[in-house]
């Protein structure tokens, strides 16, 4: 796939189907844009009637082209696209870029999408789109789009890639990065992803290693596991992946479905699995653009204990706002060295503040050397990983004066620098924007936005080294899970046991029950409940009987169950296993990510606290341990309010084995819920009950 995408993004030849001679029309723009930005390869046009379009020779059909182009750009009605695709395959075209709409995003277009997918597979063609705005690849000078953002003379190259399921949002980020002088080398409006998807482009980018950050706008993922693997590989290659995910609310899901035909899974699963792969999430289009710009300048330098964000502010109110915003985002303020505060105290007026956040006072207006000296002193402190400079009114005037010192902090101390001017917005065409970008200095006009700008740097650093998500293998484990007995067998394969038990039919007398208990070696205290195969939420029905001490109370409990559920009911009698730690374990086939393991506090705590964490499967023990440690479950297992800590090693090892067994099942159920799973002091896990959905019965 990598070699194919090399040819897509750096084609030697391009042909356009459906081009217009009028550059002010959407169908006229791609040819105009491609030539405007200096594409050096061969360009041809397919048009049934014209001999030439804007000076470029036109051919009546794809078959009539003098040679197969590396990329065929398609702009015709949706119902004509399969025919064009088949002709392209016959000609030997390697890639299609389909800008036409009317496919998965409409009920009528689903059949056309299936045809297009089959044609592409039969000829081995890659397809960008359909319903795409096209792509930009500045190194190859291949700007294949009709988008307005490319209708400019100066496209700025930069170590950023943008992948977007919305052409407009992706293009707006490209426009912004160009405006501020950061630039971006790659933009793909992925469209409906009928053939090539976000994960394919991300994998190619990770393998090339030519950018520092990939900014993604996503509404949903059809193959989420592959995306996670690509994001994990990108992070391992030193490339940050930042995502703005839409469709978290029910209204957002409906809007996403109407736009792309995608139905999103829950936001909690996306959050947890993105964290597993080291993906950084943001909350707005502005934050996505700012994160791309910030991360394009590199990572935080190494820092020891007490390292963090250093703030210089001329406004006391702004310093407080910044400190609050940093705390909300988990960003520590740097603990300045004593030598630094002593040095600051020598030249900052006595009514200023020489501790972090630092206030050099309004004297910076009268003393031009005061602010640059403050900047240099703080940048030299090893605890300063990032420097946020907050100006007051008229800040852009001071900013122009101090830019050399700010650039020096970036260049010589490798400190990340962001400046904010209180609601003093630089015009989009202000040359200072490009000067700031060239110096490696970020700029926003709001103090909270400034904190949000540096937040991805700290999130990336806090994540640390992660295990790379390995591709799911083709080998599958036979067997099915549809009953409690099937669940017990699956658990045993992962080193997790169920309680010893016997099944008792309704109407059994105490004598028969006593004999069955003796044969199974079951002694008081005992638990009686309906079979897990028959009833869900048994506790809600009052049908779980605890601490029974013999055959007669067991018989009475069985009779009570039969009275509620009917005479054919089976009851399960189990040994009562005691533990202070109950865990909810969920194995599910997620529509976006495939096999997923969920964990939370078990028993009634799950409904009271409502916190779950998830990992994509297969998962390593390190990935599971990290997921657990970031939750209230992890807090409990570490020892809480005098409770002894639980050894995580056997817990993690068994859960990893269980999850990976589920991930490789040939015919897995849709859901297996184990609640509770008891964690014993010995490290042993005992699954008390299960719920199975979507399995054979």
pLDDT digits (tens, 9 = 90+) for 348-404: 999 999 999 999 998 988 899 999 999 999 999 999 999 999 987 767 888 888 999
Higher pLDDT, 15 or 666: 15
The CATH number of the structural domain formed by 582-693 is 3.30.470.20
> Residues 276-315: pLDDT tens digits?
999 999 999 999 999 999 999 999 998 888 999 999 998 8
Note whether 1-131 and 156-296 share their fold: yes
Q: How far apart are the first and last CA of the chain?
A: 41
63, pLDDT greater than 90: yes
- Provide the pLDDT for residue 84: 98
Contact 636, 625 (CB under 8 A): no
- Provide the pLDDT for residue 106: 80
> Residues 100-151: pLDDT tens digits?
999 987 878 889 999 999 999 999 999 999 999 999 999 999 999 999 999 9
**Residue 382: Cβ within 10 Å count:** 16
> Residues 393-407: pLDDT tens digits?
767 888 888 999 999
Kindly indicate the confidence band of residue 634, based on its pLDDT and cuts at 50, 70 and 90: confident
CA dihedral 475, 477, 480, 486 (to 10 degrees): -150
Helix (H) or strand (E) holding 567: none
The span from the CA of 444 to the CA of 288, in Å, is 13
- The superfamily in CATH containing domain 1-131 is NAD(P)-binding Rossmann-like Domain (3.40.50.720)
- Provide the pLDDT for residue 2: 43
SS3 for 235? helix
What is the domain partition of the chain in residue ranges? Answer: 1-131, 156-296, 299-463, 500-575, 582-693
The span from the CA of 686 to the CA of 500, in Å, is 10
Helix (H) or strand (E) holding 547: strand 545-548
Q: What is the mean pLDDT of the chain?
A: 90
- The superfamily in CATH containing domain 299-463 is Succinyl-CoA synthetase domains (3.40.50.261)
> Residues 565-576: pLDDT tens digits?
988 888 999 999
Q: Which CATH architecture has domain 156-296?
A: 3-Layer(aba) Sandwich (3.40)
Paired sense of beta strands 671-679 and 685-687, if any: antiparallel
CA dihedral 507, 513, 519, 521 (to 10 degrees): 130
Share of the chain above pLDDT 70, in %: 96
Contact 440, 181 (CB under 8 A): no
pLDDT mean over 627-634: 89
What does 31-48 look like in DSSP terms, one character per residue? HHHHHHTT--SEEEEE-S
- Provide the pLDDT for residue 244: 97
Choosing among 3.30.470.20, 3.30.1330.80, 3.40.718.10, 3.30.1490.20, the CATH entry for 500-575 is 3.30.1490.20
* pTM of the predicted model as reported, rounded to 2 decimal places: 0.90
- Lowest mean per-residue pLDDT among 498-512, 601-615, 668-682: 601-615
Sheet with 95-98, side-by-side order of all strands: 52-53, 56-59, 42-46, 13-17, 71-74, 95-98, 126-128
**Residue 516: Cβ within 10 Å count:** 17
By C-alpha distance, which of 650, 658, 619 is closest to 492? 658
Spatial CB neighbours of 541, under 8 Å, sequence gap ≥ 6: 535, 564
- Provide the pLDDT for residue 467: 85
563, pLDDT greater than 80: yes
Spatial CB neighbours of 447, under 8 Å, sequence gap ≥ 6: 313, 318, 321, 322, 325, 390, 420, 422
Q: Give, as one character, the DSSP assignment of residue 151.
A: -
Contact 311, 323 (CB under 8 A): yes
pLDDT mean over 202-226: 95
The span from the CA of 536 to the CA of 544, in Å, is 11
Is 619 buried (19+), middle (13-18) or exposed (0-12) by CB count in 10 A? buried
248, pLDDT greater than 80: no
162, pLDDT greater than 60: yes
- Provide the pLDDT for residue 427: 82
Contact 288, 244 (CB under 8 A): yes
């Amino acid at each position: 796939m990598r070699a194919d995408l090399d040819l897509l993004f750096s084609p030697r030849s391009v042909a356009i189907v459906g081009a217009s001679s009028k550059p002010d029309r959407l169908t006229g723009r791609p040819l105009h844009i491609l030539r405007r930005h200096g594409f050096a390869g061969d360009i041809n046009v397919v048009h049934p009637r014209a001999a030439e379009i804007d000076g470029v020779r036109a051919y009546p059909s794809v078959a009539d082209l003098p040679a197969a182009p590396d990329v065929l750009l398609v702009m015709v009605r949706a119902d004509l696209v399969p025919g064009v695709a088949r002709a392209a395959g016959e000609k030997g075209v390697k890639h299609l870029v389909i800008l036409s709409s009317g496919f998965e995003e409409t009920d009528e277009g689903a059949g056309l999408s299936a045809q297009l997918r089959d044609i592409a597979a039969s000829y081995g063609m890659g397809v960008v789109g359909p319903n795409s705005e096209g792509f930009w690849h500045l190194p190859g000078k291949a700007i294949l789009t009709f988008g307005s953002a490319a209708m400019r003379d100066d496209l700025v190259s930069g170590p950023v890639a943008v992948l977007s399921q919305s052409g407009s949002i992706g293009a707006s980020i490209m426009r912004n990065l160009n405006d501020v002088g950061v630039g971006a080398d790659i933009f793909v409006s992925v469209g409906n992803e009928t053939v090539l998807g976000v994960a394919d482009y991300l994998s190619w980018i990770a393998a090339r290693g030519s950018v520092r950050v990939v900014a993604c706008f996503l509404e949903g993922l059809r193959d989420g596991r592959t995306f996670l693997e690509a994001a994990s590989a990108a992070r391992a290659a030193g490339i940050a992946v930042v995502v703005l995910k839409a469709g978290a609310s029910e209204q957002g899901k409906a809007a996403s479905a109407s736009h792309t035909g995608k139905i999103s899974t829950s936001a909690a699963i996306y959050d947890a699995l993105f964290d597993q792969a080291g993906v950084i999430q943001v909350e707005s289009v502005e934050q996505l653009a700012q994160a791309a710009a910030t991360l394009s300048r590199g990572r935080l330098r190494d820092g020891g204990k007490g390292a963090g964000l250093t703030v210089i502010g001329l406004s006391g109110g702004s310093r407080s706002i910044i400190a609050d915003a940093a705390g909300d985002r988990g960003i520590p303020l740097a603990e300045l060295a004593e030598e630094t505060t002593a040095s600051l105290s020598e030249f900052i007026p006595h009514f200023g503040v020489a501790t972090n956040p630092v206030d050099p006072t309004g004297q910076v207006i009268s003393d031009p050397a005061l602010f640059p000296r403050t900047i240099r002193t703080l940048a030299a402190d090893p605890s300063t990983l990032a420097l946020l400079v907050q100006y007051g009114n008229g800040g852009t005037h001071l900013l122009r004066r101090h830019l050399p010192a700010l650039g020096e902090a970036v260049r010589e101390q490798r400190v990340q620098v962001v400046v904010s001017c209180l609601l003093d917005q630089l015009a989009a065409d202000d040359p200072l924007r490009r000067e700031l970008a060239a110096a490696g200095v970020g700029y926003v006009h709001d103090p909270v936005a400034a904190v949000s700008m540096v937040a991805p740097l700290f999130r990336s650093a806090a994540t640390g080294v992660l295990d790379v998500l390995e591709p799911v293998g083709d080998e599958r484990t036979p067997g099915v899970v549809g009953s409690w007995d099937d669940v017990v067998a699956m658990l045993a394969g992962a080193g997790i046991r169920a309680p010893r038990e016997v099944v008792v039919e309704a109407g059994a007398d105490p004598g028969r029950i006593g004999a069955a208990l003796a044969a199974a070696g079951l002694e008081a205290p005992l638990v009686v409940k309906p079979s897990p195969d028959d009833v869900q939420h048994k506790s809600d029905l009052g049908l779980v009987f605890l601490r029974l001490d013999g055959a007669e109370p067991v018989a009475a409990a069985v009779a009570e169950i039969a009275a509620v559920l009917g005479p054919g009911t089976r009851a399960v009698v189990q040994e009562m296993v005691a533990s202070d730690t109950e865990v909810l374990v969920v194995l599910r086939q997620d529509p976006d990510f495939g096999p997923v393991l969920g964990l939370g506090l078990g028993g009634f705590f799950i409904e009271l606290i409502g916190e779950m964490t998830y990992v994509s499967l297969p998962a390593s023990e390190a990935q599971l341990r990290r997921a657990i440690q970031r939750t209230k479950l992890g807090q409990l297992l570490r020892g809480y309010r005098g409770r002894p800590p639980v050894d995580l090693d056997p817990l993690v090892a068994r859960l990893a084995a269980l999850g990976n067994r589920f991930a490789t099942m040939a015919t897995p159920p849709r859901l297996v819920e184990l609640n509770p799973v008891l964690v014993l002091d010995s490290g042993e896990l005992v699954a008390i009950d299960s719920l199975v959905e979507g399995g054979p019965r």
